[in-house]
A and B are shown apart, each in its own frame.
Chain A
Amino acid sequence: MTNMFRAVVLVLGLLLQVAPLRAQVYQGQTLVEASLVADTTAIIPGQPFRVGLLLRMAAGWHTYWENPGDSGLPTTFDLELPEGFTAGPLQWPLPQRIIEPGDIQVYAYRGETLLIRTITPPADLGVGTINIKAKATWLVCEQICIPGKAPMELSLPAGGPAAAANGEVFGRFEALLPSSEPPPFETRWTKTPTGWNLGLGAAAGGGKIDFLPLTEGAGHTAPRDIANGTADLAIPIDDSAPIRGVIVLENENRRGWTIDSTTGSTAVAAAAPKAADTSRLWSYLLYGFIGGFILNLMPCVLPVISLKIFGFMRQAGDSRASVLKHGLAFIAGIFVWFLGLAAVIIALKAAGSEVTWAFQFQNPWFNFAIGAIVFVFALNLFGVFEIVLPGRATTGLAEASGHGGLAGSFAQGILATLLATPCTAPFLGTALGFAFSQSPVVIVAMFASIAAGMGSPYLLLSAQPGWLKFLPKPGAWMERLKQFMGFPLAATLLWLLFVIGQQRGTEAIIWAAAAYLCLGLAAWIYGAFLGPLSPPRTRWLAAVGIALALLLGLGYFAGDLFARSAAKGPVEAGGKEADGIRWVSFSEAELQRLRQEGRPVFLDFTADWCLTCKFNERTAINTPAVRDLLEQKGIVPMKADWTNSNPEITRKLAQFDRVGVPFYLFYASGAEEPAVLPELLTEQIVLRALGAKTP
């Protein structure tokens, strides 16, 4: 088990890829700790990554935003990069408005801040170590101001396997970066004798609205409470020049949009309003319910659903009350999973992380654990072992089977839902996108409604067991059917191993499979020698055998070898020709470049653990007709592979209010906005979308 701990320590170490701290000490007090952090553990050729200047200020002290306000100085963050590397502009998270005596207002950061720059390495980068040098200067003020500076350096391996790093801090500050999209509410600019008046219509719910100017010479705005969804802000500026700045909406969280007076006056609510008015909420809840119902038909859940149907058949002879109890236990399992997920999402959101649907499948350990559960479940169906509850031998069959059966139904409910999440059903995409941006109450309501939708068919079948009469009578065939049901589960295991392989490479599949083998051995020993009828000596030996098998499997194969198999990089540009389409791997910069060149782009958001995505790709995208059309029209096929967590893709999805895959966009050449394709594709839909929109 120490290996397991070592593995955990190793993983934690990787997560904290931080260059040594530089501290600014003034009269014995540390005022600022500066460090250079990267969001990756290694550099992949041609693949942009981000570095951040992490500043931690002593309590009461602050450093400044790009517009410092009345006093102060913006922090600088210059990079010295090896040849061929390029760096994007400095991105500033939202600052605070701090008011000092004499009505001196500044825009600054207290506590901690992360200033972010995106670095693009050259595509032909070799293997080796890359040194990134940075120079930062800042002014830190409390009552008094002290300038500080720090040279910093960060070394990253190049060309190696890369994993995400510093996800927590990047996630937290990325959420505070102002969006360049139009805000989800109307903005009206009116010129006044003293500056501008900014009117907001249909602003999101309630909260506070503020404007932080970026134009030099602009005065300060008093933040306003939003009343009845509207608010007016006065922005003083001397001349009638256009004004640019960040509008900040503060309710449960804090979000900002960069806006300017040249576009605002006429720009009326380009994006769909996120306001949670009641009728809208109800329609989204209905979508959630329908989407939840449809989840039952998704390929990912079918193995477990078939188990449940089988369970219903077996119960067909039981009393009505018992059938209902089992149905309810199964539904309870569904609810527990969804509400648990809602709780986790709310907690993560509160901690400021970026949360996405099915994010758990981006974690190879999660996939490994689910694989283990599915495998043990399959062995159980094959008859390798029976789950015997301790009470069974002594307290009579009836009670125990009632008990164990209910727990089993509950577990099946959880498992079914667990497997369902990667299949974002139609409707769920919109409904979840809506829910993720809302308050905790709405998130819980949304998940409850999906759970209700998914559980509804079982409630009907349990409450009306009469309908089950259409199913065949129980008999000896049931044992065979049970064994047969093990195969779809084994197939699910194959899929999970495929995902693990995509994330961590072939070695990881082998080590995971070896761990499962040991688990299988332990299950067999349990089934064969640990029954209530075995003599104590046998049972003792069996327990030792199980312990050894588990130690070997989970401690060595999983905890050591599997843990050490490193994450694999995403698909490289043009590298995956096996499917006949020359996919270009997604980056926002590349997409903008192609669009500026006037080339149409088909953008496929996918992940290896997303069966719906794979199904769409096989049946509707990678077909001769679509391939020909792409070729003929010069459409660039671009793939955003979300198998491993990738913040750039997450951001792009968020632009369209999506939190999961599949998702498809088509940018016609010259078009402002892309066309959004449905989540379940047919070849016809793809051909029509690509054909009709291109001149």
Chain B
Amino acid sequence: MKTILASLLSITAAAVVMAAPEVGQPAPQFTLIDCCGETHSLSDFKGKTVVLEWLNHGCPFVQKHYDKGDMQKLQKKYTGEGVVWLSIVSSAPGKQGHMTAEDAKKTAEEKGSAATAVLLDEDGKVGQLYEAKVTPELFIINPEGALVYAGGIDDKKSTDPADIATSTNFVAQALDELLAGKPVSMAKTAAYGCSIKY
């Protein structure tokens, strides 16, 4: 009871104080449940680098990165290096991309997701808290809990998987820099994709 109250309080507080998530500022706190009933709070991952990835498998931009396994490769590579990767689904019930816990489990297996967890955000509260607008949209939080990257997956705004080979992946670049102890050179980029179906 106490933890629930605390997390509720922290979300409200975050929502009030962190009207807009700012790169360089503490990342807004949240708690969500994953496909398998487990609860995950951002605060659980203090001391680790965390990636938030907004997800909607019906969106052609997401498909661009999942159908040929590119996103999964990223997830595998960086979770292997100790990074926590959280995929968040903010689609409202009845809208594209929405998943029940059961769907989420099945889809994650089908797609071969290598994310630490797929989190369900039916009411869109966490999406709104981060002012996430599209899928895919990514955020990186450093071990100190500060937001160090916000934006898109790469620089080729398209739905064509063939473009991935020639594009600069901003997330990989930022993670590499973080893991090497360097500051993130491109901390804010324009995300492209489908609107999140709030």
Which A residues fall within an 8 A CB radius of B?
A: 68, 70-74, 100-102, 104, 106, 137, 139, 141, 143-147, 216-217, 238
Contact = CB atoms under 8 A, between A and B. Distances in A.
A73 B158 contact: yes
B189 to A, nearest CB: 9
B124 A141 contact: no
Contact of A145 (B59, B124, B133): B59
A216 B190 contact: yes
Nearest to A73: B157
B60 A145 contact: yes
A144 B128 contact: no
B96 A144 contact: yes
B195 A100 contact: yes
A217 B195 CA distance: 16
Contact of A141 (B92, B157, B192, B194): B194
Interface string B54-75: 0000111100000000000000
A72 B158 CA distance: 9
A694 to B, nearest CB: 49
Contacts, number: 63
A74 B128 CA distance: 25
A71 B194 contact: yes
A216 B61 CA distance: 19
Interface in B15-69: 58-61
B157 A102 contact: no
Contacts of B128: 102
Most chain A C-beta atoms within 10 Å of own C-beta, residue among B92, B96, B157, B159? B159
Interface residues of B, number: 25
30 contacts: A68-B192, A70-B195, A71-B133, A71-B193, A71-B194, A71-B196, A72-B192, A74-B157, A100-B195, A101-B197, A102-B127, A102-B128, A102-B133, A102-B195, A104-B134, A104-B195, A104-B196, A106-B195, A141-B194, A141-B195, A143-B197, A144-B59, A144-B96, A144-B197, A145-B60, A145-B61, A147-B160, A216-B190, A217-B188, A217-B190
A100 B135 CA distance: 14
A73 B198 contact: no
Interface in B162-197: 188, 190, 192-197
Given A73-B159, A102-B196, A216-B190, 13 more contacts: A70-B134, A72-B192, A72-B194, A104-B133, A104-B196, A139-B60, A143-B95, A143-B197, A144-B96, A145-B59, A145-B61, A145-B194, A146-B60
A139 B133 CA distance: 17
Contacts of A72: 192, 194-195
Contacts of A216: 190
Given A145-B194, A146-B60, A139 B124 contact: no
A216 B151 CA distance: 12
Please give me the 6 A-B residue pairs with the lowest Cβ-Cβ distance, nearest first.
A102-B198, A71-B195, A70-B133, A147-B159, A104-B195, A71-B134
Contacts of A106: 195
B53 to A, nearest CB: 16
Contacts of A73: 61, 157-159, 192
Contact of B159 (A68, A74, A139): A139
Nearest to A67: B190
B147 to A, nearest CB: 14
Interface string B72-116: 000000000000000000001001100000000000000000000
Contacts of B124: 102
At the interface, is chain B mostly helix, strand, loop or mixed? loop
A55 B156 CA distance: 24
A238 B151 CA distance: 14
A327 to B, nearest CB: 68
B127 A144 contact: no
Nearest to A144: B96
A216 B193 CA distance: 15
A168 to B, nearest CB: 33
Contacts of B127: 102
A132 B18 CA distance: 54
Nearest to B196: A102
A144 B92 CA distance: 13
Interface in B112-168: 124, 127-128, 133-134, 157-160
Contact of A238 (B159, B188, B196): B188
A71 B198 CA distance: 13
B66 to A, nearest CB: 15
A101 B197 CA distance: 7
B192 A71 contact: yes
A143 B157 CA distance: 20
B182 to A, nearest CB: 22
Contacts of B194: 71-72, 141, 144-145
Nearest to A70: B133
B163 to A, nearest CB: 11
A144 B134 CA distance: 12
A73 B95 CA distance: 21
B28 to A, nearest CB: 16
Contacts of A143: 95-96, 197
A75 B135 CA distance: 19
Contacts of A146: 60
A369 to B, nearest CB: 54
Nearest to A236: B20
A102 B194 CA distance: 13
Nearest to B64: A147
A61 to B, nearest CB: 13
A139 B134 CA distance: 14
